């Protein structure tokens, strides 16, 4: 039986959906004002694995992941770039979808945008006001009265006294209490007109927290079976969602709360101020189009799967450290799995769940989506396929990996794809790869050979072997190896090549 760690109860619990066989899952998505970064990648991949395993377990899943398309940061970006709000959000939504496709993240069943649910937000605010939990301040903002909700802090474990310690009401603030948060922001005269909605409280726009309360209830009803998101959303966003939804409707917002772990960069939190900020496309793009156009953005499929594998081989709740060394290690490990599929052609019989490694895979995934343990089972199958030449083991390897969104590329094409995360490519540059290396790995494009050049060398080598000039043939092999190209001679005189 599937067990999930519930952030709310701080225990691992058997998962029992409210309606047998049906899962209603809501995950907080992106605020679309910039490119997705590696922390976003971890959240996207983690919950993609969750929904894949729920479906593989025979459950019917309604997976909703929202888009925040109205927010202070979006407004600032629109003003800075002299564009309308809709232009900014559409551009970054397209960018987000391109990053998702690169990482093999399946689209959610529904992807609501906050601006489509303003009416539902205003309804909730009205209910909160009727229940004595919301008030309109002198500055026009409508705020939530945190001390009026007895359960505030139950998700994060923070008490009101702890939160209140050291707090002061800012000079000029109209809040009754510094812990109160905004539900509806009164429009400012200098703000763009397309950021203002009519409401009983005057022109304005919704606060961030109320958006998810409205969208999750409107699309999935209450209570949700699973509510998820990144580690930074536990407080205050998810805490405030609970206060809003339960304060307006009673009952529980969600039965199970899930949060993925943080992604660190060289053991520090990723931030632009520290200069360690990395986007998905900076990490996996052959030609990163980072100007105001999507043209030219092409993800490197080998590097993109490497990043997905880097995320998947860690348990979703554990902290994860991004360094060049760790990416190299992930690339090398993924290469070993693909090498098994290149060495042994997999059969297409599907998964045999009675097989020991399949049972180990399932046991790991049923234990709070322990993808780390599932990946260990994949390596056992790769070892068996290499040892015995078993097409069945290779087939099991490929079929189980598909449940994690891995190992679905053609191995030959995979190994013929250039990668920046290659120890051999780095050595050609004379660089020692350590965590101290700059965040941008050396680009081997200047030294890696094109496919046509490699094929020419292989033909020349074949001619040398035909002429019994084995010294020349060996020299060509070593010359290719110096450029990170490995040759595999197959029966029938066929030579396959791969980038190391």
pLDDT digits (tens, 9 = 90+) for 250-259: 999 999 999 9
Mean pLDDT of the chain: 89
The pLDDT tens digits for 310-356 are: 999 999 999 999 888 899 999 999 999 999 999 999 999 999 999 99
Q: Of 493, 472, 490, give the one whose Cα is nearest residue 344.
A: 490
Distance between CA atoms of 161 and 159, rounded to whole angstroms? 5
In sign, the C-alpha dihedral spanning 220, 369, 326, 428 is negative
Asked if 3-264 and 323-431 have one fold, the answer is: no
- Between the two ends of the chain, the Cα-to-Cα distance in Å is 41
Between residues 275 and 437, the one the model is more confident about: 275
The neighbouring-strand residues paired with 488 are: 496
Residue 342 and residue 498 in contact, taking contact as beta carbons nearer than 8 Å: yes
Q: What number is the average pLDDT over the span 30-38?
A: 94
Structural fold of domain 323-431: 1.20.120
The residue behind tokens 């042994």 is: 344
Binding site annotation covers 237? yes
Instruction: Output the CA–CA distances (angstroms, integers) from residue 376 to 310, 316, 339, in the order listed.
Output: 13, 15, 16
The pLDDT tens digits for 445-494 are: 334 677 777 877 787 787 777 777 777 778 788 878 877 788 888 887 78
Enumerate the domain spans of the chain: 3-264, 323-431, 446-499
The pLDDT tens digits for 177-207 are: 999 999 999 999 989 999 999 999 999 999 9
Distance between CA atoms of 440 and 154, rounded to whole angstroms? 42
pLDDT at residue 170 tops 60: no
The secondary structure of residue 450, as a DSSP letter, is: P
Binding site annotation covers 260? no
The secondary structure of residue 147, as a DSSP letter, is: G
Binding site annotation covers 97? no
Distance between CA atoms of 75 and 185, rounded to whole angstroms? 13
**Whole-number percent of the chain with pLDDT over 70:** 90
Calculated CA dihedral for residues 333, 337, 338, 340, nearest 10 degrees: 140
Quote the pTM value: 0.86
pLDDT at residue 101 tops 70: yes
Distance between CA atoms of 108 and 155, rounded to whole angstroms? 25
Structural fold of domain 3-264: Rossmann fold (3.40.50)
Between residues 298 and 468, the one the model is more confident about: 298
Residue 213 and residue 190 in contact, taking contact as beta carbons nearer than 8 Å: no
Q: Is 471 helix (H, G, I), strand (E, B) or coil?
A: helix
Binding site annotation covers 37? no
Q: Of 161, 179, 160, 157, give the one whose Cα is nearest residue 170.
A: 179
| Residues making up the chain, counted from first to last | 500
Binding site annotation covers 185? no
């Amino acid at each position: 039986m599937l067990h999930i760690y519930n952030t709310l109860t701080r225990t691992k619990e058997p998962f029992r959906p409210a309606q047998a066989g049906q899962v209603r899952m809501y995950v907080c998505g992106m605020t679309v004002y910039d490119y997705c970064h590696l922390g976003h990648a971890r959240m996207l991949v983690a919950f993609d694995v969750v929904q894949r395993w729920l479906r593989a377990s025979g459950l019917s899943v309604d997976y909703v992941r929202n888009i925040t398309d109205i927010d202070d940061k979006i407004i600032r970006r629109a003003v800075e770039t002299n564009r309308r709000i809709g232009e900014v959000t559409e551009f970054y939504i397209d960018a987000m979808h391109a990053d998702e496709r690169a990482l093999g993240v399946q689209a959610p069943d529904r992807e609501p945008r906050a601006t489509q649910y303003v009416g539902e937000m205003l309804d909730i605010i009205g209910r909160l006001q009727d229940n004595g939990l919301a008030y309109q301040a002198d500055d026009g903002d409508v705020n939530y009265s945190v001390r009026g909700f007895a359960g505030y802090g139950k998700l994060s474990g923070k008490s009101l006294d702890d939160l209140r310690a050291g707090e002061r009401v800012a000079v000029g603030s109209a809040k009754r209490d510094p812990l109160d948060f905004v539900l509806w922001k009164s429009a400012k005269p200098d703000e763009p007109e397309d950021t203002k909605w009519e409401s009983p409280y005057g022109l304005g726009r919704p606060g961030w927290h109320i958006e998810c309360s409205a969208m999750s209830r409107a699309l999935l009803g209450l209570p949700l079976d699973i509510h998820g998101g990144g580690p930074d959303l536990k407080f205050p966003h998810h805490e405030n969602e609970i206060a809003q939804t339960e304060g307006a409707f009673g009952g529980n917002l969600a039965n199970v709360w899930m949060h993925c772990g943080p992604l660190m960069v060289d053991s520090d939190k990723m931030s632009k101020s520290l200069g360690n900020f990395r986007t998905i496309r900076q990490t996996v793009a052959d030609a990163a189009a980072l100007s105001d156009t999507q043209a030219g953005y092409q993800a490197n499929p080998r590097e993109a799967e490497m990043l997905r594998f880097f995320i998947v081989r860690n348990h979703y709740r554990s902290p994860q450290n991004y360094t060049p060394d760790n990416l190299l290690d992930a690339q090398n490990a993924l290469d070993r799995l693909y090498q098994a599929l290149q060495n042994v052609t997999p059969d297409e019989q599907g998964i045999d769940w009675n097989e020991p490694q399949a049972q180990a895979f399932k046991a790991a995934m049923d234990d709070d989506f322990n993808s780390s343990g599932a990946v260990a089972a994949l390596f056992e199958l790769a070892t068996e396929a290499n040892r015995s030449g078993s097409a069945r083991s290779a087939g099991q390897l490929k079929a189980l990996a598909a449940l994690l969104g891995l190992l679905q590329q053609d191995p030959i094409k995979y190994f013929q794809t250039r990668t920046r995360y290659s120890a051999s490519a780095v050595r050609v540059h004379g660089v020692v790869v350590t965590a101290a290396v700059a965040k941008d790995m050396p680009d081997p494009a200047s030294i890696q050979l094109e496919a046509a050049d490699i094929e020419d060398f292989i033909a020349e080598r074949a001619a040398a072997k035909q002429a019994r000039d084995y010294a020349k043939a060996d020299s060509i092999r070593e010359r290719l190896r110096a450029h990170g190209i490995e040759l595999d001679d197959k029966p029938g005189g066929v030579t396959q090549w791969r980038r190391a």
